[in-house]
Amino acid sequence: MRLILQLAAIVAISFLGGVATQAVQGNPILTFLAGIVSAALALLVYRWVVRRTERRIVTEAGAKGAFSGLGIGVVIGIALFGAVIGNIALLGAYRLEGMGSGSGLIGLLGFMAAAAVTEELLYRGVLFRIIEERTGTWIAMTITAIVFGGSHLLNPHATLWGAIAIAIEAGVLLVAAYVATRKLWLPIGIHFGWNIAASGVFSTTVSGADTPQGLLEATLSGPELITGGAFGPEGSIYSVGLCLIASVVLFWVAKRRGHIVPLRRRARATTEVLASA
């Protein structure tokens, strides 16, 4: 029941945020404000509904470590996507044409903030966390990665490979970021940093969905295995490889901290891990 209630609350806020963003589409300032308000409301609703349904302090979304977690995550996300574009550019598949739209970047900051927060609350905060309690870390990661990747098949220009790539990249990386810290701030920061670099800075397609012009004007062409094709660089083999490397590092940190929940003693282990985080 708590799973359904928590999912319903986050989906409702996400829907309302999407409606508000669509209503002000074309106005970068209002889009930015709508996105920020949406993200803040989603966090407040998550804290409220989890506290009411689980009767506990919501440590994974608490204020402690929020700014540092978000900041480090944003840097990691931007660095990872920057490395992807750098490798693609070295092969001549990403070519910079000039400057794009600064106002477009402003609007995308709000839009991507709302997307990063609501998706992390939904997939890592609710789905992964609750499934992990019953199955352990690895099975929960596999299930939620498949669901997360599959949800991107609904995007325009979506491909099966693109969904598989997203499941491997984000579905694994963002779980690793959550497990390493046992807080939602690092995965939210990575998610936001990656998306804003992809759309707001390098002006590429994000998960098959068209976005407004970002800060740079550039063209992306070449083999789909390298560029990701119509799905965008998230379908690039470079994205898959670099995100897997980052995931291995974060899971190593999680193991060192004793944050991995094994299957054989899942209930007691989950309690011990959360108590020590």
CB burial class (10 A; 0-12, 13-18, 19+) of residue 34?
buried
More confident residue, 209 or 61: 61
- Given a contact cutoff of 8 angstroms between Cβ atoms, the answer to whether 131 and 7 are in contact is no
pLDDT value at position 28? Answer: 87
Q: For all residues of the chain together, what is the average pLDDT? A: 90
Instruction: Please count the other Cβ atoms lying within 10 Å of the Cβ belonging to residue 20.
Output: 18
Q: Which pair of structure tokens corresponds to residue 47?
A: 């804290």
How does DSSP classify residue 218? E
The pLDDT tens digits for 238-266 are: 999 999 999 999 999 999 999 999 986 55
C-alpha span between 79 and 90 (Å, rounded): 16
- Confidence band (pLDDT; 50, 70, 90) for 61? very high
Q: Which pair of structure tokens corresponds to residue 242?
A: 């670099």
pLDDT value at position 277? Answer: 61
pLDDT value at position 269? Answer: 52
Q: H or E element: which one contains 44?
A: helix 28-54
The pLDDT tens digits for 150-182 are: 998 888 888 899 999 999 999 999 999 999 999
Question: pTM value?
Answer: 0.92
Among residues of the chain, what percentage have pLDDT more than 70?
95
How does DSSP classify residue 228? -
More confident residue, 136 or 20: 136
- Given a contact cutoff of 8 angstroms between Cβ atoms, the answer to whether 226 and 237 are in contact is yes
pLDDT value at position 97? Answer: 83
Q: Determine the angle formed by the axes of helices 137-151 and 160-181, rounding to 10 degrees.
A: 140
pLDDT value at position 130? Answer: 95
C-alpha span between 110 and 60 (Å, rounded): 23
In a 3-state reduction of DSSP, which class is residue 208? Answer: coil
pLDDT value at position 266? Answer: 52
Q: What is the mean pLDDT of residues 211-235?
A: 88
Residues 6+ apart with CB under 8 A from 27: 107
List the one residue out of 42, 85, 37 whose CA is nearest residue 206: 85
Domain tally for the chain?
Answer: 1
The pLDDT tens digits for 68-94 are: 999 999 999 999 999 999 999 999 999
Residues 6+ apart with CB under 8 A from 102: 215
Q: H or E element: which one contains 217?
A: strand 216-220
DSSP codes joined into one string, 123-192:
IIIIIIHHHHHHH-HHHHHHHHHHHHHHHGGGSTT--HHHHHHHHHHHHHHHHHHHHHHTSSHHHHHHHH
Instruction: Please count the other Cβ atoms lying within 10 Å of the Cβ belonging to residue 90.
Output: 9
The pLDDT tens digits for 87-143 are: 999 999 999 887 877 778 898 999 999 999 999 999 999 999 999 999 999 999 999
- Confidence band (pLDDT; 50, 70, 90) for 213? confident
Residue 145 belongs to domain spanning: 2-276
pLDDT value at position 259? Answer: 96
